[in-house]
Amino acid sequence: MELKTRSKRPGDNREIDVFYEETEGFSEHINDKTVYKMVFVREGSFVVEEDDGFRLVNAPVGIIMNERAEFKVSSQTGVKTLTTFFKPTFIREEFTFDAINSKAFDDRTDESIYQDYLLLTEFNKAGRDIRYYSLTTQQYHVINRLALSVRFDILNQPDEYWILRVRYFLISLLFEATADFYIDFRQYELYKDRLVARIAMYMVVNMDKEITLADLTKRFSVNKNVLNDAFNKETSMTCMAYLEEIRVTRAMQILQYDDLTISEVGNICGYTDQNYFSKVFKKHSGMTPSDYQKQMRGLC
């Protein structure tokens, strides 16, 4: 299947190298070798298999993949995605894959071309074919609006300017990535042990619920000593200590970027007792949740 969009307007035979798909889970075209992919994961968690281990990724997250990417999902829970497929020539006709991969535009000979080229640098940054970007609540809404705007014009084509608008919205999405608008939050957590990756994903998905060692050993059919040995080898801490770190790290993110009460943050992270939440948080960060929130707001 060619990932293109053809005009539906009478008398207009144009087509563009952009294709949009909204799916539960990931698109069947996710590893297509003819296009770049921008994936917006709105909900869920998943584990990706890589050559050197298993990567745990949690929504909301943006993913960008170049044409060489091999995206291998080992397991997923509740994943919902918006995916835009496109060829870089849609941004500028000079931007063939060969030209971009040869770094033909690095010399700034033409400043206009170079500025457009910068929008595509994330697709090959640091030699990575796939990059993950966590999104704060505010960033989620920006990306969601842009992705849905692409969807509207791709599907409805309401007037003769729909191609122009698709290009504008796509460039805006690219700018969000290039402008370093994202905050990394455990999207680079790489595990060697598949069991540890599966349990870590369960912890993240069910962070707001009570999770005990006994529950985990029963759910994953593993002896507690084997479980703790696996976590110690992978993370240098026990299973439950790792859960505590995940919860506190999540609390720090929420306190920094969202306008919620300390009690609400504690509940989201699995702490119904606010005093206990403050005690655990201070052990990890050196300050109470309220002091941390004040400090972060003071930096904004």
Summarised one tens digit per residue, pLDDT across range 42-58 is 999 999 998 778 988 88
Q: Which fold has domain 193-299?
A: Arc Repressor Mutant, subunit A (1.10.10)
Question: Could you tell me the pLDDT band of residue 182, with boundaries at 50, 70 and 90?
Answer: very low
Per-residue pLDDT reduced to its tens digit, 74-94: 999 999 999 999 999 999 999
pTM: 0.71
**Residue 87 in 3-state DSSP?**
coil
| Rounded distance between C-alpha atoms, residue 231 and residue 219, angstroms | 16
Q: Which fold has domain 5-178?
A: Jelly Rolls (2.60.120)
Could you give the residue range(s) of every CATH 2.60.120.280 domain in the chain?
5-178
Q: How far is CA 212 from the centre of its chain?
A: 28
What's the Cα-to-Cα distance from 72 to each of 26, 28, 29, rounded to whole Å? 10, 12, 12
* Residue 176 near residue 139, CB atoms below 8 Å: yes
* Residue 173 near residue 146, CB atoms below 8 Å: yes
| β-strands 130-134, 73-86 pairing | unpaired
Per-residue pLDDT reduced to its tens digit, 107-140: 777 888 998 898 898 888 767 899 888 777 777 8
Could you give the residue range(s) of every CATH 1.10.10.60 domain in the chain?
193-299
